[in-house]
Structure 1
Amino acid sequence: MSRATAVKLPVPMKIQRSVLLATAKMPNAVRARLSRLAPVNADGDRLDPMLTAITLASKYIPSFALMGKTVEESRRSLDLNSAMMAESFGPFAVEEDLVMDTAAGPVPATRYSLDGNGRGLIVFYHGGGFVVGSRVSHDSAVRALAVASGADVLAVDYRLAPEHRFPAAVDDSVAAFRYAVAKAADWGIDPNQIVVAGDSAGGNLAAVVAQQVRGDDVVPCLQLLVYPVVDMSRKRPSIHEFSTGFFLTEADMDYFRETYQSSADDVSDPRFSPLLAESLSGLPDAHVAVAGFDPLRDEGLEYADALEKAGVSVTVDRVGPMIHGFLNMGLLTPVARDSIARMGEAIKRAVAAA
């Protein structure tokens, strides 16, 4: 077991987890009846009934909100809440905590291999607005991706703001990919079969890494972008439609942007807002997953469209009933698990093609 990602839930959260486990097993007929009470967005998507409950909890129970009173409290809360809602997996053959010695400095990471014979490698960057989140909060998510794809995973703990503002996270993320390329053979992996992946802020970093290493001898075979934030220079309709009440809020995004940036000019830097890159041609194939009730939905779709127009092969998974963060919610709803399965298939295809 990875010591760096182990979490011990307090007793009240163990009880909450038991309730979630029981509720998640509700019959489909009951789920269908409850869904009639769920909100519907402007595109006609109906929110998953389990996630309706989660959004209500995040609105009225402070510990369920993404951001708390302090950054440290928020980081700890996200780790615990993610563990409470995490799917359970048996031990992996390899769960190795390591520190990557990179040009950007030491970068902690955890390497996972389901059976010791990974079919490719996923270099994964966690979400959390560049401020919260960790390999702890996303331990279950990366395990789910490993199971779905058969690939090994390298979960990267890049530096966070406000202690380390832009471009620290980018520097760590690019260095981590290049470290993985250099170490792949030692891990029994073909370096040409490496995927860059991430959710939310991590999706931003995966997209940025794909752009930044475009001229390297080895580039990713796929960019897996899960509800990515790709343009912080302006707001789109979805951030107003889902401004509050759906876990991630407009105020959260404003805070994350202001906390991450080193100056106001950063928002136009393609390393900050990858959608603003001068050219997207020549980038790896992409699989982009977006949630129907997510402030970031529209920019994720816009980035997928821009990639496609630049000649990049793109698959889009528009998961209508989901909210931001559903990669961590496979325990709660089969809709999230089905989307993760499609991510796994996209990884398999890319690795096989490489």
Structure 2
Amino acid sequence: MSTPQFTVSQRVQRAVLIALSRMPAFLQQVLAKPPVNSAGDRMPADIALLMKLSAGGDDYADMSATAGRETTERDLALFSDHVAPCAIEEEVQIGNGLLATRYSSGGNHRSLIVFFHGGGFVLGSRESYTTPARMLAHGTHADVLSVEYRLAPEHPFPAAHDDALAAWRYVLAHARKWGIDPHQVAVAGESAGGNIAAVLCQHVRADPVQPVLQVLIQPVTDILGRRPSQDEFASSPALSAKQINWFMKHYLPAGTDYRDPRVSPLLARDLRDLPPTIVAIGGFDPLRDDGLAYAEALREAGVPTDIVHEPGQVHGFLSFTAVSPSCKQATERIVQAVAEALNKITSTTNKC
């Protein structure tokens, strides 16, 4: 993947944002007083300042899907840290126009993570999620396959899930060519991508080969229900109620049953026998309670589930790693949790 090419104006904007994010916390607090949520969690000063600056920017929910993509791709490039490329970065043609990028450290690994980017099923791309994909590959030493699933409204529900299943089957068929054990493949996703990963795990639950781990980062798990965090953070610059409605309007055709587990995986009748799970949540995320509800439901179903709770974080913090040290540190903690889980699974498998 190529390094983003910024205009002079964009380079200046990025430099200013990075400089502001590294100011002493007491100065940041003067510019933007960090809020405290109902749980008593305080937002880090660098994130509070970023949110204040973001609040005055363009809102993609006032745009067409095409214009929204252009805006968010530009912003994500500005906000994401520059991470060294992996030893191997190659485009993979899954079929029927479905593409993915494989990131590999080139080491003696046997694992792979199938990754689905965020963006409300309407925005986002492999390109704009290069940074978290590289961080996962470097930090876990597993390969990462970042999937360019189709987006709404051109390809509404359930196109993204069809693509996820196609990617999963392709990986199982081609894993050994990459030096990967098909029984050591995990799935991961952020936001809408977390929904896609969760639905995929439910879909293949009875198959001979299943994911060894699912990593759900700030996932969308229940479109039908409304929980307190959605009201508390309805005006969040990172993800507002207005933006959520814009996403759903584009993604779900009229008449879609919100109780369909492919829409709301939390509402599946049976969550037993799913893979061990990591659910990452942010304390200032409107989707926080959705993630917690899914984690609790998995635990009640007997699925080993760990929660990575980032109490000061907003939605989408994986994408703010250049302009917020707090966001980068939180992303690194998630990568570490995934690495530890994969190492534990690998060690257990090797002993059998």
Partner of 1:19: 16
- In structure 2, which of residues 203, 209, 222 is the aligned counterpart of residue 218 of structure 1? 209
1:77 aligns with 2:51: no
Partner of 1:206: 197
* 1:303 Cα deviation from its structure 2 partner: 0.3
* 1:119 Cα deviation from its structure 2 partner: 4.8
- In structure 2, which of residues 289, 295, 300 is the aligned counterpart of residue 304 of structure 1? 295
- In structure 1, which of residues 287, 295, 310 is the aligned counterpart of residue 278 of structure 2? 287
Task: Label 1:351 to 1:156 Cα distance change in 2 as closer, same or farther (>3 A).
Answer: same
1:55 aligns with 2:46: no
Partner of 2:233: 242
* 1:231 Cα deviation from its structure 2 partner: 0.4
Relative to the length of structure 2, the TM-score reads: 0.92
Contact 1:317-1:339 within 8 A present in 2 as well = no
Partner of 1:229: 220
Contact 1:204-1:230 within 8 A present in 2 as well = yes
Alignment of structure 1 residues 274-353 onto 2, 5 Å: 274-352=265-343, 353=345
Alignment of structure 1 residues 108-127 onto 2, 5 Å: 108-127=99-118
1:99 aligns with 2:93: yes
One-letter amino acid matched to 2:16:
V
* 1:68 Cα deviation from its structure 2 partner: 4.5
Deviations 1:88-107 (A, max 9, x none): 12222111112212xxx331
* 1:323 Cα deviation from its structure 2 partner: 0.6
CA distance in 1, matches of 2:39, 2:60: 25
CA distance in 2, matches of 1:118, 1:50: 36
Contact 1:246-1:294 within 8 A present in 2 as well = no
One-letter amino acid matched to 1:335:
S
- In structure 2, which of residues 154, 162, 166 is the aligned counterpart of residue 163 of structure 1? 154
Partner of 2:140: 149
CA distance in 1, matches of 2:100, 2:260: 27
CA distance in 2, matches of 1:201, 1:57: 25
CA distance in 2, matches of 1:79, 1:159: 16
Relative to the length of structure 1, the TM-score reads: 0.92
CA distance in 2, matches of 1:183, 1:336: 34
Point out the more displaced range, 241-250 or 307-316: 241-250
Q: Any gaps of 5 or more consecutive residues in structure 1?
A: none
CA distance in 2, matches of 1:227, 1:311: 21
Contact 2:190-2:216 within 8 A present in 1 as well = yes
* 1:209 Cα deviation from its structure 2 partner: 0.6
One-letter amino acid matched to 1:9:
F
Partner of 2:82: 88
What is the identity percentage for the equivalent residue pairs of Structure 1 and Structure 2? Answer: 42
One-letter amino acid matched to 1:52:
A
Contact 1:129-1:256 within 8 A present in 2 as well = yes
- In structure 2, which of residues 247, 254, 263 is the aligned counterpart of residue 263 of structure 1? 254
Deviations 1:94-134 (A, max 9, x none): 11112212xxx331111111235445111100110101111
Deviations 1:3-28 (A, max 9, x none): 5xx53222211111111222333346
Contact 1:158-1:169 within 8 A present in 2 as well = yes
Partner of 2:169: 178
Contact 2:110-2:179 within 8 A present in 1 as well = no
Contact 1:55-1:246 within 8 A present in 2 as well = yes
CA distance in 1, matches of 2:60, 2:137: 26
Contact 1:247-1:324 within 8 A present in 2 as well = yes
Deviations 1:199-258 (A, max 9, x none): 000000010011111111111111100000110012111111111133201111112122
CA distance in 2, matches of 1:325, 1:68: 19
CA distance in 2, matches of 1:85, 1:117: 32
Contact 2:18-2:324 within 8 A present in 1 as well = no
One-letter amino acid matched to 1:218:
V
Task: Kindly report the root-mean-square deviation, in angstroms, between the aligned alpha carbons of the 2 structures.
Answer: 1.9
SS at match of 1:128: coil
Contact 1:193-1:221 within 8 A present in 2 as well = yes
Total equivalences in the alignment: 345
CA distance in 2, matches of 1:110, 1:318: 29
SS at match of 1:196: strand
Point out the more displaced range, 332-341 or 177-186: 332-341
CA distance in 2, matches of 1:180, 1:310: 28
One-letter amino acid matched to 1:215:
A
* 1:333 Cα deviation from its structure 2 partner: 3.2
CA distance in 2, matches of 1:34, 1:118: 47
